[in-house]
Amino acid sequence: MTIAMHNLLLLLCCSHLTISVIAFQPSLPSRHITSRERPKIVIIGGGWAGYTVAESLSTNNLHSDQVEILLLDASKSGGGLAGGYREGKRPVEAGIHGFWREYKNTFAVMDGIEGVNINEVLSDYTPSVLYSKNGKVAVAPVLLNEDKVDTLFTVPLKEERIRRLIAEKLPPPLDLPILAKLDTQSSNLQPLDVLSGLGLLGAWADFEQESPASWKAYDEQPASLLFEKAGITDNLYQELVSPLLHVLPMCPAYDCSAAAALSCFHVFALQSKGAFDVRWCRGSIGELIFHPWKHQLEGRGVQFKNGARVACISSNDDEEVSLSGETPSKYSYAIQLDDNSRILCDAVVIAIGAVAAGKLAGTSPALSSLPATENFDKLRGVTCIAVRLFLKPDTIISDNLQGGFYSKTQLPPDVAKSMTDSPIAVCGAGIGGISELKETGFCIYDLQRMHDEFSVEYYNANSVELEDQVAVLEVDFYRADSFVDMSDAQIVGLTLKAVSEALGTKIINTEDVVESKVLRARNAVSHFAPKSALYSPGAKVANSIYMAGDWIDRTGHASWSTEKSVVTARQAAYSLSVDFGLDRSSCTVIPAAADTPQLSALRKSAKMLRSIAPPKTLPPSPWVLAKQLLSGEK
């Protein structure tokens, strides 16, 4: 059979699959692996990726009895890194997670969960305030004014109105510097510094995230080289670029791949108007999203096993599997849990973090021999620490605060005042010269203005006794390796100091901390170090073994973090559905935003330039090139 015929047949087989053109096309030969009527599929990992795979495969297939699905997760509660749980009456999470405007696939998934109304579960788009080690840098307002002209004229400040009118006419990213309100008092950042950022446009246009060759070229270089070549000023680097790197890819420029930095900035800020705008959950993502989601999946017949850590996967070629009970030869794989129990199945979807996958590959005969897992031991993770401080409420309730879902807080008045513009402070590395924070960025959240159950309005409406009321500060640290081994009490002390240094407020007295929770996520977040893309597998790594997660190659779809986990999950589910003839799966991937006409034009010019004079490494900005030519540098 020719490849063309084979593809045609595949197409006919899958004519019911709802899948967009951008979706992953399986590169490995497919086959109907099992003779059983209902293939048994095991999904390992219960975060966004694992749940989305279960969602895609179960939407229509379970009702028609086409497939059996079991989802295993090592943790006790669902949601992966985005999940959480209650300790006593207090909810805790491994960090607060935002949803960017371009998270279209994630929003679509949420929309499909019964009991989740996006506009009730999430806040509106929320501004944030950026701090560098030198102090407050800028307020990042909500960039896309969806109501356009009507609300433009109700915006109170004359200056703001003018800014918005100008920005309306500019393509991204040129609208960003116009809308961002630089803090001229504490920041050194001058308009010329901001303009130097345009030096990145050359690389941004030259870098084609959908092209493997372009990824490879940029991925091999550190982002520090990219910024040097772009000729951005030291001020811009220190005040804006470095803080954003520390909270988005969560690493310093020397330890971040240039491809990751460019792609991150593209996805989170530059790809479309308002791409930088973020919505936040109005409570725990675990409770508001994953609980109803699990309920929906269970209703369809998906089985869940929590507290189930997978220790090893072997294939039925391995002696061990054929020795196990339950007519093993019928199944392709045996999954062994760390309590030594075994589960046999026809297909496995691995939806766990990169470092966890590296460990699993090392112990699993079915994975260790695969070319795709050859470099898994080189995959690294970023360590995060989430600290939640429940504080004695201040006798003064600060009101009329901007940007949050709620406008009141019982935080100490000086803290409340310093967070007037937004309940979210985004802080770069090196704040306050604190040695532990040299390479650690962090975010401070006033949860009373973000989460329903802590809001002053909730307390009043439900007559919550004063002794049961708390003000709540959450501080999430990224790349926190230097202090992850400290005791909880030491970390709380460091957190109080970091907040005071960042916001320029008095240190909150430890006696005012009624309760605190410190959650450590060691090596848990994917680290996009130089060359890391080389080690990222595709959505299918072997017959009947698929992978999903925010570190999996998403074949050109410009997405990151949660959205990338959802996209790769859809791609893995698609691939599996093709292989097993599950023609009712719901695997649609909504394409990322198309290039703006301006970016398209820039890309065309960059392509032409590259064909005439291919750059040896990363392309320099025009002014760096001119400087090099004038000084005779190469």
Among 84, 98, 274, 428, binds ligand FAD (CB under 6 A): 98
Classified as helix, coil or strand, 232 is: coil
* 46 scored as a contact of ligand FAD (CB under 6 A): yes
Site map (CB under 6 A) of ligand FAD, residues 308-337, x = contact: -xx---------------------------
* 599 scored as a contact of ligand FAD (CB under 6 A): no
- Beta carbon nearer to ligand FAD, 81 or 139: 81
Distance CA 260, CA 382 (A): 14
Q: Are 17 and 56 in contact (CB under 8 A)?
A: no
Site map (CB under 6 A) of ligand FAD, residues 465-484, x = contact: -----------x--------
Among 30, 43, 61, 97, binds ligand FAD (CB under 6 A): 97
CA 522, 526, 531, 534 torsion-angle sign = positive
Whole-number minimum distance, CB 377 to ligand FAD, in Å?
Answer: 15
Q: Which stretch binds ligand FAD (CB under 6 A): 29-37, 44-52, 202-210, 395-403?
A: 44-52
- Beta carbon nearer to ligand FAD, 172 or 549: 549
Whole-number minimum distance, CB 97 to ligand FAD, in Å?
Answer: 4
- Beta carbon nearer to ligand FAD, 414 or 488: 488
* 606 scored as a contact of ligand FAD (CB under 6 A): no
Q: Which residues pair with 280 in a beta bridge?
A: 98
Among 45, 177, 530, 620, binds ligand FAD (CB under 6 A): 45
C-beta atoms surrounding 20 within 10 Å: 13
- Total residues found in the chain within this entry: 634
Q: In sequence order, which residues have a C-beta less than 8 Å from that of residue 185 and are 6 or more positions away?
A: 136
Q: Are 453 and 434 in contact (CB under 8 A)?
A: no
Among 352, 470, 472, 587, binds ligand FAD (CB under 6 A): 352
Amino acid letter for position 441: G
Whole-number minimum distance, CB 110 to ligand FAD, in Å?
Answer: 13
Strands, E assignment, 221-316? 278-280, 303-306, 310-315
Distance of CA 480 to the CA centre of its chain: 18
- Give the H or E element holding residue 205: helix 200-206
* 434 scored as a contact of ligand FAD (CB under 6 A): no
Strands, E assignment, 54-203? 68-73, 84-87, 90-93, 98-100, 128-132, 135-140, 181-182
* 274 scored as a contact of ligand FAD (CB under 6 A): no
* 305 scored as a contact of ligand FAD (CB under 6 A): no
Touching ligand FAD, residues 48-87 (CB under 6 A): 48-50, 72-75, 80-82
Q: Which stretch binds ligand FAD (CB under 6 A): 56-64, 349-357, 529-537, 599-607?
A: 349-357
Classified as helix, coil or strand, 524 is: strand
Q: Which residues pair with 279 in a beta bridge?
A: 99
Q: Cα separations (Å) of 565 from 109, 212, 317, 476?
A: 12, 19, 31, 21
Q: Are 23 and 586 in contact (CB under 8 A)?
A: no
Among 182, 258, 437, 521, binds ligand FAD (CB under 6 A): 521
Whole-number minimum distance, CB 107 to ligand FAD, in Å?
Answer: 12
* 405 scored as a contact of ligand FAD (CB under 6 A): no
Closest by CA to 478, choosing from 399, 409, 382, is: 382
Residues of the shown chain interacting with ligand FAD in the complex, contacts defined by CB under 6 A: 44-50, 72-75, 80-82, 94-95, 97-98, 309-310, 351-353, 356, 360, 384, 386, 476, 521, 524-525, 549-550, 561-562, 565
